[in-house]
Structure 1
C-alpha cells in the first residue's frame, strides 16, 4: 500500500467529521449490511468532495504563481514549489480514482471483501482506509512480493 500523506489523512479526517454522529460501524454487526454500506458510501463521497476542494486550491495556486522570476534562486524555488504542487495534484487525481472505484464496488456488492482472498477486510481497516481492497495480511504479502520483485 502506498503510504498516505499527512494531507490525505487530514482530508479523510475532515470528511469523517462531516458524517452524522448517530452511527459508526462496529465489528459485531452484520458485515456490509445496508447501514454499513451507506456509511461508507457517505464517507467516500465526503472524502471525494474534500479532495476535489483541496485540488481546486492547488490549481488556483498554480494559476496565481508567477511564471518567471528574475532571480535564479527565486526561479529555482518557484519551480520546486510548482513541482511539489503538481505531484500533490497527481496524488489527488489518483486518490479520486480510487474513491470512485470503491464507490463502484459498493454498487456491485464487492465492497469490504478482499480481492485476493475473498475474506472480509474488516470494519476497523475500512474506517481507517475506506479505499482498501485487501485484508491486512493479503496487503502485507502483496508488498513483500512487490519488494522482492523490485529488488531482483
Structure 2
C-alpha cells in the first residue's frame, strides 16, 4: 500500500469536499484518527495526574498543605470533565463503527464537517442543538 492511499484528508480538503462525499471512508478515517488522538491525550493526562498526586508528599505547613489540596481538587475536577469527554469520544468512535457518525440523532440530517471539526463528539446538528438549549432555558435547566 502506498503512502497516498493511506493519507488522511486535510481539514481544508474535508471542508471543500462535495456533499456526496459526506462521511466517506476517508472522512470517517479522518475523524476516527482525530478522536483516537484526543483519547490518547486524555489518557496520558490522566496518567500524569495519577503520578503527580502519588508523588506529592505531605507538607507540615498548613497554608502549603491547603494550597496543595486546592491544586489537587482543581486537577481532579479537570480530570472528571476529561473522563466524561472520554466517554463521549468512545461513543463517537462506536458511531463511526455503526455508520451513524456525522448524522444528527434527532433529525437524521448531516451534522456538517465544520461542526464536526470544531466538536468531533457532536451528536446533533446545529439547529437541533439550539432547539435543545432553548428548551433547557425555558424549563430552567
Q: Does the 8 Å contact 2:103/2:124 carry over to 1?
A: yes
Render the CA deviation track for 1:97-145: whole Å, top value 9, x for unaligned: 1100000000011000011111100001101110011111211221121
Query: Is 1:23 the equivalent of 2:10?
Result: yes
Tell me the secondary structure at the aligned position of residue 133 of structure 1. coil
Q: Does the 8 Å contact 1:27/1:123 carry over to 2?
A: no
Query: Is 1:135 the equivalent of 2:125?
Result: yes
Deviation for aligned residue 1:21:
6.8
Report what 2:3 is aligned to: none
Distance in 2 between residues matched to 1:22 and 1:28, nearest whole Å:
10
For structure 2, the residue ranges without an aligned partner over 5 or more in a row are: 1-6
For structure 1, the residue ranges without an aligned partner over 5 or more in a row are: 1-19
Q: TM-score, normalised by structure 2?
A: 0.84
Q: TM-score, normalised by structure 1?
A: 0.79
Aligned length: 131
Distance in 1 between residues matched to 2:44 and 2:9, nearest whole Å:
26
Render the CA deviation track for 1:20-47: whole Å, top value 9, x for unaligned: 6753312542111111111111111111
Which of residues 30, 39, 56 is equivalent to 1:48? 39
Render the CA deviation track for 1:66-87: whole Å, top value 9, x for unaligned: 2x43222112111111101111
Query: Is 1:97 the equivalent of 2:84?
Result: no
| CA RMSD after TM alignment | 1.7
